[in-house]
Structure 1
């Protein structure tokens, strides 16, 4: 006599929603100042409208996507306290630039308003992130502790 359990009908796994196909690159016919035309294609990350890139100099084209920083309330002698962005920027590529660093995707990091680190490679951007993270860790571990202790000593 067999002690095997009766075979059960396999339960099908729930169907996963179909993944949409990746978007095809946006393309457009671009007329080049001075003559000629070219079909341009945006990289997948590009969010630029290219509204003003229909007729332009070849090296004026840039593809990119902006990213927001964090706003800090900064005192301004003329306006009082106002929000200043910190560490915002843009992933960019300037495909026709004379500067080889700009012809590959890079970061333009606005450290704070109007102060920019340009054309950072992935390794350079990672180093900036590590440096800022280490500084924030030190602020939290050392400076915050001193600030918490300071009022008791001040009295």
Structure 2
């Protein structure tokens, strides 16, 4: 198997020399690896691991009470992410899931017939993005996790309890 096809891994090494590693999905944008982590922070570091990929959708010109956004400014109204938290307390979050983010306090006002057509077109584009990009990406992420996302492996070095 060529090196580029090798599964990626993350590794956390403590200040005692104990290290633990696990699967880093190909779609994850951040590597949670750490070196010389104080051993008493290992549990927190593991619980903070979040494999994550942002998914951005389409924009609409919105009105908002937020002074940081000018009325009529185009704002991304569809945003989501594929996430996997291998150490989550909820088992359903330990496999890749899709999180859809809704935006509060934005309004579309005084829409005319052409505006409604544009809105419907944008919603159809959102649905197409979900059907044709997000769903297949999530299915692939789950297949990859099923193949490689096993429990982390401890490497040589003293176990944290042996410090």
TM-score, length of structure 2 as denominator length: 0.47
Bigger Rg, structure 1 or 2: 1
TM-score, length of structure 1 as denominator length: 0.49
Higher strand share: 1
Higher helix share: 2
Q: Which fold has the larger relative contact order, with Cα–Cα distance below 8 Å and residues 6 or more apart in sequence?
A: 2
